[in-house]
A and B are shown apart, each in its own frame.
Chain A
Amino acid sequence: MIALKDVLALLDGELLTPSTAPDVAFRKVFASDLMSDVLTSAEPGSLLLTGLANAHVVCTCSVADLAAVVFVHGKRPGQNVVGEAQTKSLPLIATKMTMFEVCARMAGLVEDGGHARR
């Protein structure tokens, strides 16, 4: 399992939803800017990596049972989106790393069985 705290450390991420549970963990990661693809192909309980930062991301994750979201490339959702995520107990992370960098690092984390390389 991949722990949220390891993702934060690996991606130099900022947790935008401090009130969400800190002990969230996931087995799978799904990367897409298309919410249609998330609804079609992401497995429940996955971590979503995306460059889309609007309210549809939170709604899509809620509907499709995704566990948390990483906004890549310095994208930051508005306060209304963050508030909605907190209401739905969906952790949101922002990182300045590009989608490619995030995917490369997350692939290493998945291969390591969820243990972050520091």
Chain B
Amino acid sequence: MPAAEAVFRQEFAVKGGDFAKAGVVACRIKELLKDLGLNAAAIRRAAIAAYEAEMNVIMYAWEGRIDLAVSPGEVHITVDDRGPGIVDVELAMTEGYSTATPEMRELGFGAGMGLPNIKRNSDVLHIDSRTGEGTRLKIVILTNGHGTT
């Protein structure tokens, strides 16, 4: 699903370890999608997927970029980070599996639901991770009412 025909596009920077700004990008994405007039269910799914992805960059990576591209019927969220990568993607997709630190858990995150919840709230999820280099998530949310939540 190419996003070349995007009618709206914006990129956001995310800094690893910057817990004070956690959620800022997801909240901004939600506002932008509201302004674009998407349906509430699609906005919620996109915002939750973006929030989980943003938290993953903050918790585990050194830095990252989140690219939002909206085209008729689709929202594309692409997250590129520079970081340790995911050693075992299949294991990381298991609900409850987590490598979070106690500090992350004290903030209410790191329950091992991030990637599974991104998958749950997206129609397409591609994960490409290279150990020691970083991870790319390609998330697509269909906005025509065919979503699962």
Contacts and interface: CB of A to CB of B under 8 A. Distances in A.
Interface in B1-43: 20, 22-24, 26-27, 30, 40
A64 B110 contact: no
Contacts of A37: 111, 113
A60 B23 contact: yes
Interface of A: 33-37, 39-40, 44, 52, 54-57, 59-60, 62-65
B23 A36 contact: no
Contacts of B24: 59
Contacts of B27: 59, 62-63
B44 A59 contact: no
Given A44-B44, A59-B51, A63-B47, A34 B23 contact: no
Contacts of B23: 55-56, 59-60, 62-63
A80 to B, nearest CB: 10
B26 A63 contact: yes
Interface of B: 20, 22-24, 26-27, 30, 40, 44, 47-48, 50-52, 107-114, 117, 120
Given A52-B108, A55-B22, A65-B40, 10 more contacts: A34-B109, A56-B22, A59-B51, A62-B30, A63-B26, A63-B27, A63-B44, A63-B47, A63-B51, A65-B44
Contact of A54 (B50, B51, B107): B107
Given A39-B51, A39-B52, A64-B44, A56 B117 contact: no
22 contacts: A33-B108, A34-B109, A34-B111, A35-B108, A35-B109, A36-B112, A36-B117, A39-B48, A39-B52, A40-B113, A54-B107, A55-B22, A56-B108, A59-B23, A59-B24, A62-B23, A62-B27, A63-B30, A63-B51, A64-B44, A64-B47, A65-B44
B108 A60 contact: yes
> Which of A33, A39, A55, A57 has the largest count of B CB atoms less than 10 A from its CB?
A39
Contact of B51 (A52, A57, A60): A60
A66 B33 CA distance: 18
Contacts of B109: 34-36, 56
B111 A36 contact: yes
A21 to B, nearest CB: 18
A5 B3 CA distance: 46
